[in-house]
Structure 1
Amino acid sequence: MAKKQDKNSWKQEINDIVRGICGGFLFGIPLIYTMEVWWIGSLVKPKLIAIAIAFMFIVVFLLNYTDGFRKRRNTWRLDEAAIDTVEAMAIGFVCSAFMLWLLQEITPETSLKESLGKVVYEGVPFTLGVALANQFLQSGNQNNSTSDSHKGNGNSKPQQHHLHATLADLGATVIGAIMIAFNIAPTDEVPMLAAAISPPWLWALMAASLVISYTIVFQAGFSDQKKRRQQKGIFQRPLSETTISYLVSLLASGIMLFFFQKLTLSDPWTMWLEHTLVLGLPATIGGAAGRLAI
């Protein structure tokens, strides 16, 4: 019995961390494409970094004290809020460092001071996203009883047409991708990052986009995932849906870059590919958020 409880405890812990990570990506990804923050982080003095961390601790502590990113917390306890705050900040900083490394804004040649400044300043929205993940991105599991009660009456209602379900998902993906990536597309960050990323790194960018998208929609607990997996449609399986949604997000990214004249028809296909994949990461995360909303 004790082993089963320990197993459930570890499972809940992992679920909480995954939810926090996904919340961090949803909130933090737009700022990660802002070069001004890179510059400020690379030039900031250690004293200001310490002040930023202290201020962030206070804000995240207040958020965790009222709710927190864990589902298991039922009482307002200062010690639990403090522990959750340290963990939320650690998750936010790790997510920030991972994205900066993935976009090659942090490399082995980057000094420790510069790396720390960039991670802390870019980590602010990631950390806030972790702390707010459970508060504003509630799981749909509380509605399971309602959905279960309708299962018996499912035969009395016509099944949603597969094509309609698919188009609804694709439409939500496009809307979410545009909402997140539209402000990034006209900036100079995209060509700057594309120029710095080597071809093998583009594969890592693609893999990260797919994994983050899949985790947000099917693993983080932000929606009724059981219902999500049972939804009917042409591509309505977790892997196929994630892949098709990624391709749609890439298409939307290419169109946005063309719209803002960051790409032209005379540009080589390699340039189109590099720029589209770079913008495709925030677009894919936005697309995942869009699918959560339907």
Structure 2
Amino acid sequence: MMKGHNRHTSPTSARTAFKKEIRDSIRGAASGFLFGIPLLYTMEVWWIGSYAEPLPMLIALFTNFVVVFLLIRTEGFRGTVDTTMRDTSIDSIQTLAIGFVCTALTLVLLRQIDLNTSINEAVGKIIYESVPFTLGVAVADSFLSGDRSRDTNTPKSSSSQSKTAEINATLADVGATSIGALFIAFTIAPTQEVPMLASAMTPPWLLATIAASLLISYGIVFVAGLTNQAKRYQQTGLFHRPITETFIAYIVSLLSGLLMLWFFHQLSFEDPWTVWLSHAIVLGLPASIGGAAGRIVV
């Protein structure tokens, strides 16, 4: 009877475990993007990865694994700290895998890895660029996990108070998005990476970059289970729906990025609108990630 009962409940238990695994992986990827996206816009790291020899790459990979192993052993990749060396090793390998996949996909999107890239160059870029990604994944739970025990119920208020609250909430979200976007864009906009990447972007790749920006920022705020996620679902004002918030926040991030590009003389009013658009979309990827980070901490 006990064996039959276990067989009957196993599919449900397996589905629950699978959902938790997916949630942990998404949270880790979101944290990885928050930590790693600025380095992906650094051409010096592209060059280091392009010309790295196998031995330095193995040393870098081993060093990264050791650091990730120690972080997971101390902080825990998931909701609980691993208690055995085997569990820590498995989670360390999974952390590296998440970092490698996110890094590789972003480098493909930025046209730094394509079909003409050699295997050695691609592997070198992924290994060196993935270091902050994997560190972000390793500390995802301890650093960014939300407090799910928090009481998110709010008292009822009058119509005028509700209207004022909606306006204040909208302004707070716009401000938080702008601050987060400017924080990231400020470090990238003065560099030559943005015009270099924008010049290589064709319309299909620009559309793919927009889609990736929206998807990643949506995942950070509404899927990954990061700080204040439950509160985000109860938000009022223009940002009260996840899809609406994601699109409006992306527009705010684009404008913030354009402001930084103009501020650092990367764009001028004599440039055609297509140049402004391509530069904005390229910088909009890290800016939207910064904007998402700004909203989850308010």
Written as runs of structure 1 = structure 2, the 5 A alignment for 1:6-155 is 6-71=14-79, 73-143=80-150, 146-148=151-153, 151=154, 154-155=155-156
> Displacement of 1:37 after TM fit?
0.1
- Give the aligned residue type for 2:176: A
1: distance between equivalents of 2:135 and 2:192? Answer: 26
Written as runs of structure 1 = structure 2, the 5 A alignment for 1:270-285 is 270-285=274-289
Q: Please tell me whether the aligned partners of residues 217 and 289 of structure 2 are also in contact (alpha carbons under 8 angstroms).
A: yes
1: distance between equivalents of 2:293 and 2:156? Answer: 30
> Displacement of 1:69 after TM fit?
1.8
Q: Please tell me whether the aligned partners of residues 66 and 76 of structure 1 are also in contact (alpha carbons under 8 angstroms).
A: no
Q: State the Cα RMSD in Å.
A: 1.3
The percentage of aligned residue pairs carrying the same residue is: 53
> Displacement of 1:138 after TM fit?
2.0
Q: State the secondary structure of the residue aligned to 2:101.
A: helix
Using the size of structure 2 for normalisation, the TM-score is: 0.93
> Displacement of 1:9 after TM fit?
0.6
Name the residue aligned to 1:182.
Answer: 186
> Displacement of 1:70 after TM fit?
1.2
Q: Please tell me whether the aligned partners of residues 173 and 239 of structure 2 are also in contact (alpha carbons under 8 angstroms).
A: no
> Displacement of 1:225 after TM fit?
2.5
Q: 2:242 aligns with which of 231, 238, 241?
A: 238
- For structure 2, list consecutive stretches of 5 or more residues without a partner in the other structure: 1-8
Name the residue aligned to 1:2.
Answer: 10
Alignment length (residue pairs): 287
- For structure 1, list consecutive stretches of 5 or more residues without a partner in the other structure: none
Name whichever of 269-278 and 225-234 sits farther off.
Answer: 225-234
> Displacement of 1:231 after TM fit?
1.1
> Displacement of 1:4 after TM fit?
1.7
Name the residue aligned to 1:197.
Answer: 201
> Displacement of 1:139 after TM fit?
1.3
Using the size of structure 1 for normalisation, the TM-score is: 0.95
Name whichever of 60-69 and 275-284 sits farther off.
Answer: 60-69
Name the residue aligned to 1:229.
Answer: 233
- Give the aligned residue type for 1:217: V
> Displacement of 1:213 after TM fit?
0.4
- Give the aligned residue type for 2:231: K
